[in-house]
Amino acid sequence: MNENINVKDKIIKTTIDLIEKSNGFVENITIRKIAEISNVSVGLINYHFGSKEKLIEICVQKIISNVMSVFPNIEGSNEYLKNANKDIANFSINVFKFLLNNPEISKISMLSDLSTPSIDSNSSISYRAIYKALNDVDSNKTKKIKAFIFLSTLQSAFLNKDISNDLLGINFNNEEDYNFFFMNVAKLLNI
């Protein structure tokens, strides 16, 4: 059993390395290449993960989780939460920049979270961080709704970035435009 865990970890590590080297363009990564570098058979990869897509999804979730851990204890640091509370719009702008700089893995992570919701997903972790960063002026229920709206807006803005100019007259690929957008969303939500 321990050998199976090591093989799975080896496959995941190899796949993460390939994803990072490909700048997130996972369509250029093949199961054969993963198998070759991991020194395992293609069948073993399919046995453990079912498909390339499932393996990629697992790896992307790990990559995003590692990136999120760089934020100073995103779910627990009072100092971080105090600063985020002062300027949640700037926090969201920084997150949006990360999404734009890592479009393929960000899209995979979001779509995976939306298609198979989980309390432990990256979206759920982000929601809890946003919730904790909001001030306590509103009732608990209202604060939860505002955090949900804010996260949903952030994800929707990213997923619709290529048509945002046609939809809103705001180009989410332009830093000045998305800064304006998130500042106004924060103002509209009074956060």
Q: Which amino acid is at 55?
A: L
Residue 22's alpha-carbon distances to 15, 16, 18, 42, in angstroms, are: 10, 10, 6, 20
Task: Give the end of a domain, one of 59, 83, 99.
Answer: 59
pLDDT of amino acid 73: 45
Q: Which amino acid is at 35?
A: A
pLDDT of amino acid 1: 47
Residue 66's CB: how many other CB atoms inside 10 A?
10
Residue 174 has pLDDT above 90, yes or no: yes
Residue 25 is classified by DSSP as -
Is 52 found in the same domain as 75?
no
Domain encompassing residue 47 = 1-59
Residue of 30, 16, 123 lying closest to 59 (CA atoms): 16
Percent of the chain with pLDDT over 70: 86
Is 78 found in the same domain as 55?
no
Contact 130, 147 (CB under 8 A): yes
Is 77 found in the same domain as 22?
no
Sign of the Cα torsion 34, 40, 42, 46 reads negative
In a domain, residue 124? The reply is yes
In a domain, residue 121? The reply is yes
In a domain, residue 167? The reply is yes
Is 108 found in the same domain as 44?
no
Is 92 found in the same domain as 149?
yes
Is 184 found in the same domain as 154?
yes
Is 162 found in the same domain as 84?
yes
- Give SS3 for 1: coil
Categorize the per-residue pLDDT at 90 as very low, low, confident or very high, splitting at 50, 70 and 90. Answer: confident
Is 115 found in the same domain as 146?
yes
Q: CATH number of the domain at 47, please.
A: 1.10.10.60
Categorize the per-residue pLDDT at 188 as very low, low, confident or very high, splitting at 50, 70 and 90. Answer: very high
Query: How many whole angstroms from its chain centre is CA 128?
Result: 13
Q: Look at the chain and report how many structural domains it folds into.
A: 2
Task: Give the end of a domain, one of 9, 30, 59.
Answer: 59
pLDDT of amino acid 68: 66
Is 80 found in the same domain as 164?
yes
Q: Tell me the pLDDT tens digit for each residue of 27-84.
A: 889 999 999 999 999 999 999 999 998 899 888 888 877 766 655 444 445 555 445 4
In a domain, residue 96? The reply is yes
Sign of the Cα torsion 22, 26, 28, 32 reads positive
